[in-house]
Structure 1
Amino acid sequence: MQSQPRVGTAPFLRNTAGCPLEGFPLAFSHRGFAPDGEENTVKAFAAAHRLGFKYLETDVHASKDGVLMVYHDDDLLRLAGDRRKVSDCTWAELSELRVAGEAIPTFDQLLETFGDSHFNVDVKEPGAARLLANAINRHGARDRVLVAAFNGLRRRKFQQLLAASAPGSPIAASPGVLGVGAATLLGRIVPLPGALYRNVDALQVPEKQGAVRVVSPKFIDHAHSAGLQVHVWVINEAAQMHRLLDMGVDGIMSDRADVLAGVMDERGYWPQSGGSGTDHA
């Protein structure tokens, strides 16, 4: 199997030239490994970590009293059985709730508990942007975080906040819905304009959006020409993972961390703790 070149320069992307995972496609555990429904909990991330994952995808909200909480939905009903929104609850109130028997963690807790891990963070609402910037600065974690948001304005607000606190120290990012949509339309026919994507490092996309195919060899080539990696979500079947890796994607996110780890191991890309692209250590 031939290693494929990885583009991008952000420290978060440890699979670029001269980095410990050079030539590897990255494996992301989506909300941790949660077969019993305990998504986005310390237990779920610990399970993924034990499987060898050092790239963990997660989501953040702001509590009513300004604590950055790790949680996906706007409201607490689906996972915690509470009809309130995350933003309507204080940290103390949220700490009493349980997701499949597990506590809802703070983002600071994740950074501290998994000190060797990288976090792909979806900023779920505007109030979380400043809290995330503060947490990253507090922990010196700029090289460990990629920020994403379906709302591109929210992602740009975060980048502005972080730039104001430490000019010249950018952080990895992926575009929102409009940026991905433009890349989907343009990337099928022409190289992507680098100026349009100068503040992002990866296109994080579904393989298909409805009936529209997003990821194709031409799309990947055009993204690479613009200096962007292509990470695909959420892929849970081994055959689909193999097909995308053969196509040349730079990363895969999956709810089935066990399946993705097996595929990566089969292809010589595991573990992803360090080493080089030659010894795969």
Structure 2
Amino acid sequence: MRPLLGEIRYFLAGSFYRMRYHELGSRKHPTVVCVHGLTRSGRDFDALAAGLADRFHVLSPDLPGRGASDWLPDASLYQPQSYVIALTHLLATLGERVMWVGTSLGGICGMMIASSPGAPISRMVLNDVGPMVPGRAIARIRDYMSVRPEFPDLLALEAHLRHVHAGFGPLSDAHWEHLTKTSARHLPDGRVALHYDPGIAKPIRTSLAIDTELWPWWEKINIPVLAIRGENSDLLLPKTFERMVQSGAMPHVVKDTGHAPALMDAETIGVVRSFLLEQDKS
């Protein structure tokens, strides 16, 4: 089941840009917005969307500079604040309350929005991210982003993805094939590149790899939260996860997985689905 492709326009730093999104499920159903991690795209949620589409209207945007969305002319704009501007344009266009699933960077954006007065997010899933991002994890991500994202063919690209995203968990060959095909941008000379603007790496390359505390945002969030953690994650540490749970988040740990669970396995999709369906009972 291939999602439909839609778009919104958002205004940033004096210009309008296009953000594309992938859509599955009837618009008559409650809307779930799924937002991907730093170097990924909305197509990462195809399996989750297929598992939700009978009861939900699922939108999975490509953040600015990724997938089918416009690249930004100034690489310094690739910051969470810019992504939040684009995402809140999407929320304003929808004009309704939504549920949110955010992996890593997508979860950070979700926390930024959900902590704001009047935010239209009613329920949130945070996939392997929390209110403290360790500097060591930032350094690891910075290191793999230093590799130029161009490869001779799809097989080489898949080998790269299996290496840098080993933390996604014990995925099947079909899952890796899907992630590879939806991560590829074909170049005129026959090679393939990753589906993002290489400029997205500039802000993280120039930033300090220090622990980043986001607890002030967390303390303002008063909606139900499902916190998912990869068992071996270096980004959502056990102490952070425990503190989130103690403050009311529902926990789920994905075994044999690091950063970040791919949300492709039936068990985790079932947990997310059950959590989102709880809204119908509240």
- TM-score under structure 2 length normalisation: 0.34
- TM-score under structure 1 length normalisation: 0.34
| Greater strand content | 2
